[in-house]
Copies of this chain bind each other. A is one copy, B any other.
Amino acid sequence: MDMITNDLRDDILSGRFAPGDRLLELQLSEQYTCGRAAIRSAIVALTTEGLVEREENRGATVRRISITEAIQITEARSVLESLIAAQAARHATEKDHAELRDIIEQMRTAVGNDEGKAYSELNRVLHRRLREMSGHDIAAELVANLRNRAAHHQYRLAVMPGRSADSLEQHAAIVDAVVAGDEAAAAAAMTAHLESVIEVLHRWGDANVR
């Protein structure tokens, strides 16, 4: 795939470009030392990925995601990640089980030491490994995309005080079900986890009515 597209995507996800920021072709072509055509191509790709918004003759901006949209994104993620969890429960090997248990252990110490950044990273790793173990490429691709779209709101969530503890137990429940090979339980645990995320988003949305 195109390298420039990945660079620009990373810069958007990392917050280097914030929601609402204009993406000027000339400026970007200088910044990434490439022609305007490459930038244009990247913008088209990221537009269909839902990360960028384009208006005829007016240029591109980083897409703003409203709270209600973030909730819908998480709802969609919920059903897809549940599918992934079920498939992971079906396909995970002994080695995978050990790895998952190890990740949970690391999360536990991260929560104990109040290392929010490390926990967030482990969270990402756990979900990614589950996707890989599931072998469900389609669901994995869609979830990866949905995660990107709501990246900013996910970040807000991660730094909420006290959430790590709840989150940890939910993740542990998911891993337990996967290790037990119980597809239904794995799906249910994943649904419960994301339901709680949706709950938090709802509360945050209600608190910030405008």
CA–CA, A73 to B142, complex, Å? 10
CA–CA, A82 to B76, complex, Å? 10
Closest to A134 in B: B72
- List, in ascending order, chain B residues with CB within 8 A of A159's CB: none
- List, in ascending order, chain B residues with CB within 8 A of A41's CB: 40-41, 44
Interfacial residues of chain A within 29-80, with CB under 8 A of chain B in the complex: 37, 40-41, 44-45, 47-49, 69, 72-73, 75-76, 79-80
- List, in ascending order, chain B residues with CB within 8 A of A111's CB: none
Interface size on A, residues (CB 8 A): 23
Report yes or no: B138 in contact with A73, Cβ–Cβ below 8 A: yes
A80 contacts which of B40, B47, B73, B76 (Cβ < 8 Å)? B76
- List, in ascending order, chain B residues with CB within 8 A of A146's CB: 138
CA–CA, A142 to B75, complex, Å? 12
Tell me the smallest distance from the CB of A162 to a CB of chain B, in Å: 28
A104 within 8 A of B: no
Report yes or no: B40 in contact with A72, Cβ–Cβ below 8 A: no
CA–CA, A76 to B72, complex, Å? 16
A137 within 8 A of B: yes
Report yes or no: A79 in contact with B83, Cβ–Cβ below 8 A: yes
A45 contacts which of B48, B72, B79, B83 (Cβ < 8 Å)? B48
Tell me the smallest distance from the CB of A133 to a CB of chain B, in Å: 15
Could you pull out 8 A-B pairs where Cβ atoms are within 8 angstroms?
A45-B45, A69-B138, A72-B136, A73-B138, A75-B136, A75-B138, A80-B80, A138-B146
Residues of A within 8 A of B (CB): 37, 40-41, 44-45, 47-49, 69, 72-73, 75-76, 79-80, 82-83, 136-139, 142, 146
